[in-house]
Structure 1
Amino acid sequence: MNPRQLLLLALGAVAVEGFTDTSPFVLLSTSDFPSSSSSLKSATSLLSDVWEKLKTCPSDYYIVASQPGVHAADYSGRRAAPRLREKVLGKDKAIRSNVTVTEVAGVLDPLAIGNGLRDECGAEVTEIDASTGSYPSDFGKGPRVIYVTFPALPLRDQRAQQLSDNDGFLSDIIDRIPSSKYSLVYTTSPRESEEGESTSVTYNSDDIKDQEYLHQDLKRDFGEFARQENADSNQSLFDKYQFFSPGIFMGAIALFVLVGILYVGISALLSLEVSYAAFEKDTTPGQKKQL
């Protein structure tokens, strides 16, 4: 799979039976640091990885956007978040680093990232409530953390339109940043479904063809792990663990041979019988040798 396809999948092209309690994450920056993309990651692990990249204070401005009530499927359409999509796909040449996770298990707290930047980088904080439709005309000098909080998407209709409007609002804020060095932390939280609401979504087959195979492999791995775990729980202690390995067996044989040799040697020494007189000097006068 080439990098272009991976970035496309990471932005939101998901399998039909994707995880319903996960949501995507995107980190974009005009600074250089290792880029990576993955399909599934825990919020705790992701927060640690993101902080490792941002704790060096690589930017002057940090836009920390929070979009609640979404799923990766909401970004599968090309019109859902077109400006963010272009940045993720590498069409914005100013973006030099990209970290995308299609599905984050758990909720990543954007305040944890902002507070860390405030304490570590001495960044000032600006909060923007996107539901008001307005933001400051001047963001001040950097370093600065700009919190952008979007309202949750509606559960049924107008989800794509609302997401597109939020994308345009975020793009306007980025365009007004008075510096070319910025990082965008786009966090989301999983959507909540109403009682009786169908969670099925219509997908673009061209966008999600490769991701279907990815999720099938992922679910297969989880299923095999669960079956193995259930099988192990019904086994006895000696069936689950190997207490007598080949290494231990060979060591025991070698030890037996060495102990046998030692026993024979000690037995041979103890069997020697020598009289005390053998060690005394013979003082008996003998006959002189005749020439």
Structure 2
Amino acid sequence: MKIYAAAILSSLASAVVAFENTVPCLMWSPKDYLTHVAGQQFVVENEAAVSTIWSSLSSDICDANVVAIIDQPGIHLNDLSRSDSFTAIKQYRKDAVTRTEVEYIADHVNVNNLANLIAQECEGSIVYGDHLSNGDNEAPTVAVLSLPNAEDTDALQQNDAKVDAFIQSVQEHATDNYAVIYTSSSAKKSPSHMRKRSVLQRRAPPAEKSRPIFAKYQLFSPAVFMTFAIAFIVIAIVSVGLTWLTGIQTPIRFEGKPKKN
């Protein structure tokens, strides 16, 4: 029983870490340039990220005038639902004819490889920033916008405004014949990684050695608390089920049929 509980706890902890170090990929278009990938695994490995995104584009993607790739480092899927700093992005996705997403990609997406793949497959060109030239091109232009890493709400709002201006530039160049890929070249780092500290985050100066350990260190993070909470629920359900199963007893003897007088 203890081994089974430890295995459950370890699996849950691994799942929390796996989802924490992921990035999303949101795609939308005013035309039918996107498709849903059937059988997609829940967390896409980093090595398969570019091919998975390419598979999410329809076979007609090379008919687009512009394929816009937006790189927002340090973004997680939860940020998009919890923050109000993505007004323009949410509105563009809402107004799009087709939209799809790869919710969890491990670690990061290689944006340069993705841009090169699309340009190679469609025999198009790559431009960086909003340097789009007017004119009719048979092959699509892959426009890459790299945003600065945003660590607070104000920075995210500024980046959202840059995305808005970038897509407006794309619309001026391609009207409604374009597709947008919004993803991240690096996963969001936890506070301990950003400060290059150990897993035990300091809460008190080193001189205060006499203080209790819980006053000097943060030993539990929200992810750890969530893991323990889920583990306790699962272990409780499994324990009750095993108790019921082991409590089942077969009768020692069976009563015979009553004799007729």
TM range (shorter): 0.5 to 0.7
After TM superposition, the score normalised by the length of structure 1 is 0.51
Greater C-alpha radius of gyration: 1
Q: Bigger shift: 79-88 or 160-169?
A: 160-169
Equivalent pairs: percent with the same residue? 18
CA shift digits 1:35-57 (9 cap, x unpaired) = 36986333333422222344832
Q: For the Cα contact (< 8 Å) 2:67–2:178, is it kept in 1? A: yes
Q: For the Cα contact (< 8 Å) 1:62–1:185, is it kept in 2? A: yes
Structure 1 residues 146 and 140, CA gap change in structure 2 (3 angstroms): farther
| 1:79 pairs with 2:74 | no
Task: Give the whole-Å Cα distance in 2 for the aligned partners of 1:24 and 1:53.
Answer: 13
Task: Give the whole-Å Cα distance in 2 for the aligned partners of 1:32 and 1:156.
Answer: 33
The correspondence of residues 25-64 of structure 1 with structure 2, limited to 5 A, is 25-29=25-29, 30-35=31-36, 40-54=43-57, 56=59, 57-64=62-69
The CA RMSD measured in Å over matched residues stands at 3.7
- Residue 44 of structure 2 aligns to a residue whose secondary structure is strand
After TM superposition, the score normalised by the length of structure 2 is 0.56
The correspondence of residues 1-291 of structure 1 with structure 2, limited to 5 A, is 19-29=19-29, 30-35=31-36, 40-54=43-57, 56=59, 57-77=62-82, 79-88=84-93, 91-92=94-95, 95-128=96-129, 135-136=130-131, 138-142=133-137, 143-153=140-150, 155-156=151-152, 158-188=154-184, 189-192=186-189, 193=191, 194-195=194-195, 196=201
Task: Give the whole-Å Cα distance in 2 for the aligned partners of 1:162 and 1:76.
Answer: 18
- Residue 142 of structure 2 aligns to a residue whose secondary structure is strand
- Residue 63 of structure 1 aligns to a residue whose secondary structure is strand
CA shift digits 1:195-236 (9 cap, x unpaired) = 3499989xxxxxxxxxxxxx99xx88xx99xxxxxxxxxxxx
Task: Give the whole-Å Cα distance in 2 for the aligned partners of 1:104 and 1:81.
Answer: 20
- How far does residue 148 in structure 1 lie from its aligned partner after superposition? 0.7
- How far does residue 27 in structure 1 lie from its aligned partner after superposition? 1.6
- Residue 190 of structure 1 aligns to a residue whose secondary structure is coil
- Paired residue type of 1:183: A
Task: Give the whole-Å Cα distance in 1 for the aligned partners of 2:33 and 2:107.
Answer: 28
Structure 1 residues 177 and 78, CA gap change in structure 2 (3 angstroms): farther
For structure 2, the 5+ residue unaligned runs are: 1-15, 196-200, 203-217, 236-261
Task: Give the whole-Å Cα distance in 2 for the aligned partners of 1:200 and 1:174.
Answer: 42
Q: For the Cα contact (< 8 Å) 2:69–2:180, is it kept in 1? A: yes
Aligned length: 181
